[in-house]
Every structure is written in structure tokens, then in C-alpha cells.
Amino acid sequence: MPACARVETYIALRYNCFMAKEITSAEYQALAELRYRIRKFVREGDAVARAAGLEPQQYMLLLALRGLPDGVEATIRTLADRLALKHHSAVELIDRLEVHGYVRRSRSRDDRRRVLVALLPRGEKLLEQVARDRIGELRASGAALVNAISALLENGRPSSAKKQNGESSKKSKDTRGE
């Protein structure tokens, strides 16, 4: 069988397995619940950022900067990609953060065309204040978000009843062979 035919067969099988069935009411409800939980978390985070004196996008840039994986340089392009922004929008955002003394820009030693962004202590302090609140919120009520994701992944079936009865953890232990 030619490679092209194998790819077409794979696509058809994958489509039939995952996409051909009708979306159930439970799946719509699970998707709506997930969207609601995410929006609620984001809206509350925006309010906390504003209360700390940051615009939500400024907080997101500081978080993206501080949360970059090890070995990833904090270039404007990288930050723009992490925030799903156009390059010039990231530049404007960094300009505002730099004016407030939250970040500093510098040229790369290896390639002077590349601009690196560094988090300054003042920005780190503000970021920590907002992030501490958001982490606390997730620890306090993150189970609802997890349940919403689980319900969607389990084809719309609510998972909270299983977890309350301890069936999910028992089942996962059984499947791992413990």
C-alpha cells in the first residue's frame, strides 16, 4: 500500500473514531462548564492584577517571563509567542513595563539584533504578589476546573461523583498494577 493511501486510511479511521459520533448534550455541558471555569479564573486573576497596579496583559507578560523554561532566552519574539501577541504589541507592553521599572531590555551579546528582557526586583515582587493569590485560588477551588476537564475527556460524563466515592483513585491503582 502506498504511503499516501496509508495516510488517507489513518485519517479516515481517526476521523471515524473521534469525530464521526454526534456531540452529546453532556459533552456540550462539559465544554460549557470548562469554558466557564477558565473564564472565571481569568476574570478573577485580571481583578487581582489590577488591584496590584498591573494591567492583566502586564501580569501575563511578567508571568511568561518568570515562567520561561530553563534554557529559553527571554527575547521579545519568545514572549510575544508565549502570549500569542504580535511582535509590535509585545514591544509596546514591554515599553510600559520598563517605564515602571518592572523589566529591563538589553541586547544579546551573541547577536546584537536580538533584544533580551529581564525581570527586575520590583517586577518580581509585584508578580509574586499576584501569582501567590492565583496559586492559592487554584489550590482552593481548582478541583472544579479539573472536574470540568475530566468530564469533557470522559465524553461528557461528570467525574465528581466517582472521585467523591474514591472510585477513580481505586481504578487508577488497579490499572497500574499496584
User: Domains in the chain, please, with CATH?
Assistant: 24-140 (1.10.10.10)
pTM of the model: 0.73
Residues 70, 88 contacting (CB under 8 angstroms)? no
Q: What is the mean pLDDT of residues 93-113?
A: 93
- Quote the CA–CA distance of 159 and 177 in Å, as a whole number: 22
Instruction: Indicate whether 155 pLDDT > 80.
Output: no
Cell of 151: 468530564
Place of cell 509596546: 92
Q: Which range, of 27-31, 58-62, 118-122, averages the lowest pLDDT?
A: 27-31
**Which of helix, strand or coil describes residue 119?**
strand
User: Which residues partner with 119 through β-bridges?
Assistant: 103
- Quote the CA–CA distance of 115 and 91 in Å, as a whole number: 10
Instruction: Indicate whether 20 pLDDT > 60.
Output: no
DSSP one-letter code for 75: B
Confidence at residue 156, expressed as pLDDT on a 0 to 100 scale: 58
Confidence at residue 152, expressed as pLDDT on a 0 to 100 scale: 86
Place of cell 518592572: 102
